[in-house]
Structure 1
Amino acid sequence: MSFVLRAARAGDLPALYQMAKSTGGGFTNLPPDRPTLKAKLARTEASFSRDEETLADDLFLFVLEDTASAKVRGTCQIFSRIGSRWPFYSYRISTFTQYSKELDRTIRAETLVLSTDLDGASEVGGLFLLAGERAAGTGALLARSRYLFMAMHRARFADRTIAELRGAHDETGGSAFWDGLAGRFFGMSFREADDFNAVHGNQFIADLMPKHPIYTALLPETALAVIGKPHQSGRAAQRMLENEGFRYECYVDVFDGGPTMTAPTDGIATIKAARTAEIVGLSDEGEDCLVAHGHLGAFRASCGRIAATTTGVKLNPGAAEALGISVGDSVTYVPR
C-alpha cells in the first residue's frame, strides 16, 4: 500500500468531515462543521494560489491519500502566521518567590498568565490519521511532510514554529482543566467552548477571562494534574515533535491545558536535514527517505528510496510514479 501527501482541494470536504466526526473532540483545527471546513478549504486554495514568496496569513491544508484506492486517510495543516486575524492566546506558566523575614519562610508561587507571546509564529497542527492506518510510517510521513513543504517554501514561514498538543480529556470528552478554571467564568461546557472556538475563534476568552495572573494553588487537584500534559493519544505525537527539536516552554492551551511545543523553524530536524537534487535515474536501491516535489498546490510527498550519485540521485520507480515525476525533475528529500 502506498500513500502520498498532497494539497487539499474542495472535493475533499466529505472525507475531511468524516474524519472530523471521528476525532473524539478537542481538535480545534478539524471541527465537525461543514461550513467551517469548507471555509478552510477556500482559504487553503487562496494560500496555494498566492504568488508572493512572503510571510502572510496563509493556511496550507493537506490530505494523505491511499494511491491504490484514491481514498483520503489522514490530514494535516500549517498556519504560516498565527495571531493575524485575532490574537493567539495561551497561558504562560510563571513563578515568583516571596520571603517573610518574621516567619523566616520562602514561598514559591506558580501562576497562569494569559499571554499572546506566540503571536506571529508559524504553527503545525490539525494532524489526524484514521486508526486503521496508524502503522508502517504513515504517521511520520503525515507529520514530517509538512516540514519538507516549509523547507521548500521557507520565505512563507516565520522564524519560530509551534505545535499545540491536545490536553487530557476524560472518557466523556470533558476537560478537568476547563472545569477547574475557564469553565467557571463562561457557563459553558468544554465541548461547547471548544466547538465555539473552532468556528468563531478564541477572542471570547480575552473578552471574559480575568486579565490578572491566576494562582495555580487555587485550582482543584484534578486541574493541576493535567496542566502541560498531552492527551494519551498525543504522546507519540509529542515524541515526534521532540525528535524534531520542539520543546515545551511552559505555554499551555487555554481550553484543556495541553502543552504547546516550540522550535526555531530553521532548527527543525527535518528542515535542517532536507536536501534537493535532480533525478538522474530510476533504481530500487538506496536509502529509505521521505521525498517531495512540486511548488505550492502541486506539492506531493511520499516514501521512497534515494541513491546518491556524483551528478544527482536515483529514485525508486514506485515513488516516482506516486509523485508524478521522472528523470530530470528535482526532489527534496530527507532520510526516514
Structure 2
Amino acid sequence: MMIIRYIQQKDIHDLYQLAKKAGFGLTSLQPDMEILAARIDRAVKTVEGKLDKSEQGYLFALEDTALNKVVGVCGIEVALGLKEPWYNFHVGTQVHSSEPLNVYKALPTLYLSNNHTNCSELCTLFLDPDYRLNKNGKFLSKVRFLFLSAFRQYFEETIVAEMRGFSDEHGRSPFWDAVGHKFFDMEFAKADYLSGTGKKVFIAELMPRHPLYVDMLPDEAKAVIGAVHPNTVPAYNLLIEEGLRYKGYVDIFDGGATLQADIEHLRAMKDSHVVRVEVVQQENIPVADAPYIVANDDYDHYRAILVYSSPAHDVLKLSEEQAHQLHVSDGDSVRVLNIEIQKKS
C-alpha cells in the first residue's frame, strides 16, 4: 500500500536516492546528506512546534509499505522571505513613447522582486520515475491541498509554487546563459546548487537592480520565460486544476513560472469534507470510478492513503488494513477529497 506521512529521520537514505534521481533544476532537493538531514530536522521540529514561523516547513513522504521505502516527497513552506529574502523576476511592462515622433512602444521587462514575501509555498515535489503510475503523482501533489484545508490556521493568505524551468539533458538553461550567467560567471548547475543549499546571499549581491528588457535577450531565452521543464508539465497542470495561476513571476535562475492563488480559493477548501469511518470487510466496499484521498486529520501523526471507494451519506467504508494505515478506528472521522476534478453539468 502507498501511504503519505511526515518525513522522519530514518528516511534520510531514501531521500538522498530521490535527490540523486531528481537531476538539475529541483533547487530544494539537492543530493547532499548534510543539507537533507537538516531539512528533515526542520520538518520534524515544525510539526513539534519548536520553530518560529520564518523557519517552518513541512515535508511529506510517500512510502511503499510493502518495501518500507520512501519513493516520493513533497513539501509546504509556511512563510517565505522572513529570514532571508525570497527572490524572483516579475515580468512587467515599460512604455517608451514620443508624440512628436509618433512612437509608442510597450516593452516587456524583468524586474527583481520580493513580492512573495510572507506567502506560503508548495515545494519539493518529486516522485521516483518507477512509481509514476496508479495516480501516485496526483496523490503526492494533491495531498498538500488536503493538509492545507485541514490546518488552514498554520498558513498564510497566499500560496505560491515555483515551477522547474526548462533545462536540457546536460543541465544547460537558456535563460541562465542569457541572464544570470552574465552577472554570476558560473554554470547554471552550480548556481542552482548554491541556492538549494541555502547560500543565497550572492543573489542579492550580484543580481541586477534595474529592469532587464526582454527584447534584448536571445530568442532561445525569451522562449522559456514562464515555461516549465517537460518533466514538470504534469505537476503544472495539476496545480492549475486546483486553482493556481501564473501571474507574471518567474524563477531568477531558469525562468520557470511561479504559480499562485489565495488559499481560500483552492478547490480543496471547497470540495474536501469530513466523514465518519465504517470498518468493513474488503469485499463489502463498493468500488468508485475515481479514487479519493483520505487523511486522518491527526496533526501530530498525519497520514493519508488513496482509496477507490466514495463516501455515501457522510460515511466512508474502509478495510481493516486501510484503517490501520490511517491509524483510525470504526466511528472515527477522516477528511476526503476526490482526486479528480468533478465536471459540472
- Using the size of structure 2 for normalisation, the TM-score is 0.92
Q: Counterpart in 2 of 1:93?
A: 91
Q: Contact 1:166–1:231 (CA<8 Å) still a contact in 2?
A: yes
Q: Which residue does the alignment assign to 1:48?
A: 47
Q: What SS does the corresponding residue of 1:211 show, helix, strand or coil?
A: coil
Q: Which moved more, 1:299-308 or 1:193-202?
A: 299-308
- Please identify, of 166-175 and 101-110, the stretch whose mean Cα deviation from structure 2 is larger: 101-110
Return the alpha-carbon distance in structure 2 between the equivalents of residues 175 and 25 of structure 1: 10
Distance 1:192 1:51 in 2: 32
CA separation in 1, counterparts of 2:36 and 2:228?
Answer: 25
Please report how far the alpha carbon of residue 176 of structure 1 lies from its aligned counterpart in structure 2 after TM superposition: 0.9
> In the TM superposition, what are the counterparts of 1:72-87 in structure 2 within 5 Å?
72-87=70-85
Q: Secondary structure at the match of 1:241?
A: helix
TM-superposed CA distance for 1:103, in Å, is 2.5
Structure-1 separation of matches of 2:211 and 2:318? 55
Give the TM-score normalised by structure 1.
0.94
Shift of 1:217: 1.6
Deviation at 1:100, TM superposition (A): 1.9
- 1:251-305, Cα deviation, whole Å (9 max, x unpaired): 0000100000001111111232111122144341264311001423410111114
Deviation at 1:215, TM superposition (A): 0.9
- Pair 311,237 (structure 1): closer, same or farther in 2 beyond 3 Å: closer
CA distance in 2, matches of 1:66, 1:213: 48
**For 2:62, what is the secondary structure of its paired residue?**
strand
Deviation by residue 1:32-84 (Cα, 9 ceiling, x = unmatched)? 111110100111111010189x9653111111001211111111111011112
Partners of 1:236 and 1:309 lie apart in 2 by 31
Unaligned runs of 5+ in 2: 340-345
Higher mean Cα deviation, 228-237 or 56-65? Answer: 56-65
| Secondary structure of the structure 1 residue equivalent to 2:22 | coil
**Corresponding residue of 2:238:** 240
Taking the aligned partners of 2:309 and 2:134, their CA distance within structure 1 comes to 18
Partner of 1:218: 216
RMSD: 1.8
Is this contact kept in 2: 1:92–1:115, CA < 8 A?
yes
1:17 corresponding residue in structure 2 = 16
Q: Paired residue for 2:197, among 199, 221, 234?
A: 199
Q: Distance in 1 between matches of 2:135 and 2:90?
A: 34
Rate the CA distance shift 1:192–1:84 in 2: closer, same or farther, 3 A: same
CA contact (8 A) 1:306 1:316 kept: no
Task: Report the CA distance between 1:313 and its aligned residue.
Answer: 3.4
Task: Quote the residue 2:32 is aligned against.
Answer: 33
Contact preservation (8 Å) 2:297, 2:335: no
Residues 1-336 of structure 1: matches in 2 within 5 Å?
A: 2-50=1-49, 57-282=55-280, 283-285=284-286, 287=288, 288-310=291-313, 312-336=315-339
User: Matched residues in 1 for 2:316 and 2:126: separation?
Assistant: 32
Structure 1 letter corresponding to 2:296: H
Letter of the 1:47 partner, please give it. T
1:200 partner SS: coil
**CA distance in 1 between partners of 2:115 and 2:60 (Å):** 27
Judge conservation of contact 1:284–1:317 (CA < 8 Å) in 2.
Answer: no
- Contact 1:304 / 1:316 at 8 angstroms: preserved in 2? no
Partner of 1:319, secondary structure, is helix
Instruction: Give the C-alpha shift of residue 318 in structure 1.
Output: 4.2
Letter in 2 for 1:300: R
The one-letter amino acid of 2:19's match is A
Query: Structure 1 279/55 Cα, relative in aligned 2: closer, same or farther at 3 Å?
Result: farther
Aligned letter for 1:168?
F
Supply the distance in 1 between the matched residues of 2:140 and 2:16 (Cα, whole angstroms).
Answer: 18
Contact 2:109/2:212 (8 A) holds in 1: yes
Q: In the comparison of the two structures, how many residue pairs are matched?
A: 334
Higher mean Cα deviation, 193-202 or 277-286? 277-286
* Segment of structure 1 superposing worse, 218-227 or 15-24: 218-227
> 2:342 matched to which residue of 1?
none
Per-residue deviation, residues 155-192 of structure 1 (Å, max 9, x unmatched): 00111101111000022111111110111111111011
- Kept in 2, the 8 Å contact 1:274–1:334? The answer is yes
Q: Is the 8 A contact 1:81 1:120 kept in 2?
A: yes
- Runs of 5+ consecutive residues of structure 1 not aligned to the other structure: none
Name the CA shift for 1:51/1:37 in 2 (closer, same or farther; >3 Å): closer
Secondary structure (helix, strand or coil) at the match of 1:298 reads coil
The answer to whether the 8 Å contact 1:278/1:313 transfers is yes
Deviations 1:306-331 (A, max 9, x none): 55455643334442232132202210
- 1:98 Cα deviation from its structure 2 partner: 2.5
